[in-house]
Amino acid sequence: MPFDSINPATDERVASFPETSPEELEMALGRATRAAPEWRRRSPRERGALLRAAAAVLRADLGRYANMITIEVGKPLAEARAEVEKCALACDYYAENGERMLEDEKVDVPEATVSVAFLPLGVVLAIMPWNFPFWQVFRFATAALTAGNAALLKHAANVPQCALAIAEVFDRAGAPEGLFQTLLIRAQAAAALIEDPRVHAVTLTGSEAAGRAVAAAAGRALKKTVLELGGSDAFVVLEDADLDRAAEAAVRSRYQNAGQSCIAAKRLILVDAIAEPFLERFEARVRALKVGDPRDETVVMGPLARRDLRAALHEQVTDALSQGAVARLGCRIPAGPGSYYPPSILDQVRPGMRAYGEELFGPVAIVLRARDADHAIAQANDNRYGLGASLWTQDAARAATLARRLDSGSSFVNAMVKSDPRVPFGGVKASGYGRELALYGVREFMNIKTLWIAP
């Protein structure tokens, strides 16, 4: 069965690519197996040179790569260009800092010379999603290649052009044969790869269900995994927050990429004292968002990536409305072609509704009310996910205390949650485990080895 590239703004099939055959998959595994030990021997400086070259390739062809993202995902061109540039910045970051990250650590042991070395595992399989089709891959690949590993990519089925283009970036940058390869395969073939002894570790960014399946398969094979799964991030606004600044950030966080982000501000948790003033500001800004053809430079929100995703989102909204939630804005499927869904605000959401406990992966902000800060934190933590959280208050000391109480992999105060190469990224609870980016992302797929040398 071929992999089709379908434009979600028009429902047009723009390209089709053949599935990687079993024979081609076997050859790819052989190339990766040969590339891994050769790359392991390269110095950190040499690995960094490849990443610098990859950054140059990304920037030289930024427009073409951004257009691929827009065509396959429906992301506005400005956001797509920013995504490609962010990948280049990650390459630059690891090129500059990789050598320091890989240095041995000395341990003070009087009776011996002891150090901790950080050595690559071998071949890492990456199973990646479609919502940030370049960034999600580079977020993993820059760290894995810095560590000295080889990489195999199984990308989402609806972004084959992006998947092949990423392999092209590394080829053009001068990567050794087999170091980074894209495989156009289905879930069954990926499951077989997890069991293959030539694959040494697995990383997945995707749904909770996919994470459970991959973790179970990797567990049977006793292989290391990193899972970055769903999120239902809380955006907590306290009574002393700068409401204009908070509302502006909430709109950006919730509706960028048509709301299809694990770290979007999905749950607006508002202290009663400022709930209506905040919502007035928030709703006015949401109404001003221009939705349409993502290739139009004036458009800030395009369609969802697929029609089935839109249907699933609307089912969650309909369930909440049937139980007493209020459609403050949007919440209706528009007529016409494409997978469009309007920027929406779903108010009066309560426990028992699907929207209260599930992740809404699309442009729908749900609103929860809180009596005070303690109630707001309790509601933020009353969710099985724990990826990121955003807290808004002008009291710095209070913020430092409350931010630590949020069950999340990161807490941002007076800022929207984002991933950044300089800091670790990942979650707790059903949002997964392990970390990407920064020093921690490099060390996830390394043998942290003790070297004890007695006199």
Give the residues of the chain that fall short of pLDDT 70.
none
Phi then psi for residue 183, to 5 deg, are -115, 120
Nearest-angstrom CA–CA distance, 205 and 211 = 8
Please pick, among 72, 79, 228, 436, the residue that the annotation labels catalytic: 228
- Residue 258: name the closest of 176, 365, 153 by CA: 365
Distance CA 16, CA 256 (A): 28
Asked whether the beta carbons of 338 and 8 are under 8 A apart, the reply is yes
Nearest to 254 by CA among 244, 268, 236: 268
Half-sphere exposure of 156 (CA within 13 A, CB side): 24
How would you label 112-121 residue by residue, b for 16+ Cβ within 10 Å and e otherwise?
Answer: eebeeebebb
CATH superfamily placement of domain 3-229+431-453: Aldehyde Dehydrogenase; Chain A, domain 1 (3.40.605.10)
**CA pair distance 116, 372, nearest whole angstrom:** 47
Distance CA 94, CA 138 (A): 11
Count of C-beta atoms within a 10 Å radius of residue 451: 12
What stretches of 293-395 show up as alpha helix (H) in DSSP? Answer: 307-322, 354-357, 373-381
Provide the pairing of β-strand 12-17 with 201-205: unpaired
| List 91, 162, 262, 331, catalytic entry | 262
Model pLDDT, residue 1: 86
Contact 94, 52 (CB under 8 A): no
- Give 63-74 pLDDT, tens digit per residue: 999 999 999 999
Domain ranges of the chain: 3-229+431-453, 234-421
- Report the candidate in 53, 55, 46 with the shortest Cα–Cα distance to residue 99: 46
Residue with tokens 């992006």: 162
Main-chain phi, psi angles of 127, to 5 degrees: -110, 110
Give bridge partners of residue 203 from the DSSP assignment: 126, 226
CATH architecture type of domain 234-421: 3-Layer(aba) Sandwich (3.40)
Buried residues in 361-393 as b, exposed as e (16+ CB within 10 A): bbbbbbbbbbeebeebbebbeebebbbbbbbbb
34's enclosing H/E stretch is: helix 22-41
pLDDT tens readout for residues 357-397? 999 999 999 999 999 999 999 999 999 999 999 999 999 99
Active site residue 162: no
In angstroms, the CA 235 to CA 261 distance is: 14
Is residue 453 within 8 A of residue 232, CB to CB? The reply is: no
Cα end-to-end span (Å), the chain: 62
How far is residue 155's CA from residue 161's CA, in Å, rounded to a whole number? 10
Strands 428-429 and 432-433 turn out to be unpaired
Is 228 assigned a catalytic role?
yes
C-alpha 196/C-alpha 119 separation (Å) is 21
- DSSP-derived secondary structure letter, 51: H
Alpha-carbon gap, residue 265 to 256, rounded angstroms: 10
Q: Report helix, strand or coil for 432.
A: strand
Return the structure tokens found at 56: 């140059």
DSSP assigned state of 340: -
